[in-house]
Structure 1
């Protein structure tokens, strides 16, 4: 018979690994959004405001994982 404390410890470790993986996905998504925003600002620096706004509004959303 499995020790209940060991079973609980295994469950907690599995949950911690699941949360770590979820955090890594969220961090990757945030990084991609920030990178895209930075590139967009860099590209739009030389544009007239109306064109920059139009490009920002019509830009596709980042791909979801």
Structure 2
């Protein structure tokens, strides 16, 4: 099976075309893939979005262990 790109996987899994614009009915296109950490950080800071990952909740046992 050939590799599918992320848009193809979303389309296949969720029947969702990420390139279709609901607003105008046109098609979006990828302008760039930002992978450099400094570039990603700059963009997030400019948009006022968090630059650190969310804190994880502590691990819990399976739910059935609370009533056994």
Same fold (TM over 0.5): no
Query: Which protein has the bigger helix share?
Result: 1
Question: Shorter-chain TM-score: which interval?
Answer: under 0.3
Which one scores higher on RCO, CA 8 angstroms, separation ≥ 6?
A: 1
